[in-house]
Amino acid sequence: MQDLHTIGLNPFAVTLLAESVLKSPLAPMTVGKPQGFFFPINRGDCAGWAGVRITVEAVRPPCGCQQGTCESKADHECRMTAEIRAGDGAQ
């Protein structure tokens, strides 16, 4: 949080954005596939700028299950582990 404040970003606003993304239907779609958004800004105190492009990706916690112990027998490997590996570029 201090690092954000040091560079001039409101850490509470950044946290609110992150929480909003995680609570939205967008979150699962961004795992391993970051999504970018452009936010246009037209304010006098931001003269010379058109807006901000932000890229978001929801990140799941490491999976605690072991192979074969996931929710269904069709899952031979934990769904979360597969998504995390895909996000890291592993096959």
Give tens-digit pLDDT for 13-66.
Answer: 999 999 999 999 999 999 889 999 999 999 999 999 999 999 999 988 766 665
Task: Identify whether 65 is part of a domain.
Answer: yes
Sorting pLDDT into bands at 50, 70 and 90, what band is 1?
confident
Task: Identify whether 70 is part of a domain.
Answer: yes
What CA–CA distance (Å, rounded) separates 62 from 52? Answer: 31
Task: Identify whether 81 is part of a domain.
Answer: yes
Residues in the chain: 91
Task: Identify whether 2 is part of a domain.
Answer: no
pLDDT: which is higher, 5 or 70: 5
Q: How far is CA 35 from CA 32, 54, 58, 59, in A?
A: 10, 8, 10, 13
Task: Identify whether 88 is part of a domain.
Answer: yes
Domain that holds residue 78: 60-91
Of the candidates 34, 25, 77, the one whose C-alpha atom is nearest the C-alpha of residue 59 is 34
Task: Identify whether 52 is part of a domain.
Answer: no
Please give the tally of structural domains in the chain. 1
